[in-house]
Amino acid sequence: MEQLPAGILEQALAATAEPLMIVRLDHTDWPVLLANPAFESIGGSDTIGQPFADVIEGLVGRELALEISESVRAQEETSFPVEVGNREFLLSFKPLETDEGRYVAAYWRSASAASPVADADTRHALLKAKRQLRDLSRDDTVTGLLNARAFREVLEHDWAVAARERATLALVIFSLDEFDAYVEVFGRHASDSCLRRVGQTIRRSLRRASDVVARIDDSRLVVLSHASEQVSVTEFAERIAMAVRELGMHHPRSSLGRFVTVSYVVNAVEAGKGGSAAAFLDELLAVDGG
């Protein structure tokens, strides 16, 4: 079968009334490769080359952008109901893969022009249930963040991508200070609540929706960032430490103050330089001494 010229495909996509984006997933920051004129009407004209997570966050907000990024990272064919500029869409994602790389197509289907609302709602409910089943194996049951196994899978993938591009990855390990003493005073139920609040504080503080936070063991949480400078990552970690202190969770046995606090260690390296993703994480965990 004869292959269509790229120019013909580009003209066809440009004439499509449905907003459409194509994103490359095996490059750092997931750059937007294509945004047709219909998408420009809702997302602006300067989208090409921008990080996908930043574009989505600007359109639908941080919380939904985090959920969308998690599904895209997992290569799920899924949909989300969204509202942009007082217009309702069903944002659908289709993973694409060729010998040259991995991509995802994002279709912004008008809620009114799509299939009947009941059908769209049913499809979304099924897709949500599918995501929830996936999350049972990937999420930490206490914090709702990724668990250690799922985080290592994400790190392996992002390490391989960054190594090809000679890009920098950064890890931050956050440890709850004197957490064993906190557990002794308040018990496991209250301690789980404390962990959950700290984890969600970190999640809300992530600089990009493509960054990842996970619970790595009993009292430690880890953030994977695609930042390029260790100094900026350290500043980010300090802001999170301040945000945790400001939660004001009383810790009567802490030697560091009245409230729950976190300590952190940071490292940023060019991926693939003399080591593996697992070694990068394990070495930092050893430095942290948990």
Over residues 216-237, mean pLDDT = 87
pLDDT digits (tens, 9 = 90+) for 187-206: 999 999 999 999 999 998 88
Q: Is the pTM of this model over 0.85?
A: no
Average pLDDT, the chain: 84
Backbone angles phi, psi at 224, to 5 degrees: -105, 125
Class of domain 148-288: alpha beta
pLDDT digits (tens, 9 = 90+) for 55-106: 998 898 888 888 888 888 877 788 888 888 888 888 899 998 888 788 999 9
- What pLDDT sits at residue 185? 94
Residue 40 has pLDDT above 70, yes or no: yes
- What pLDDT sits at residue 38? 87
Domain segments of the chain as ranges: 6-138, 148-288
Largest CA distance in the chain: 73
Q: Distance of CA 100 to CAs 24, 142, 162, Å?
A: 10, 39, 16
- In sequence order, what DSSP letters do the residues of 40-99 get, joined into one string? HHHH-S--TTSBHHHHHHHHH-HHHHHHHHHHHHTT--EEEEEEETTEEEEEEEEEEEET
Count of positions (residues) in the chain: 290
CATH architecture of 6-138: 2-Layer Sandwich (3.30)
- What pLDDT sits at residue 181? 95
Task: Give the containing element (helix H, strand E) for 24.
Answer: strand 20-24
- Hey, what amino acid is at 81? P
Residue the block writes with tokens 């219909």: 38
- Helix, coil or strand: residue 256: coil
* The 20-24 sheet, strands edge to edge: 32-35, 20-24, 101-110, 87-98, 78-84
Percent of the chain past pLDDT 70, that is, above it, reads: 88
Percent of the chain past pLDDT 90, that is, above it, reads: 33
Non-local CB neighbours of 126 within 8 Å, separated by 6+ positions = none
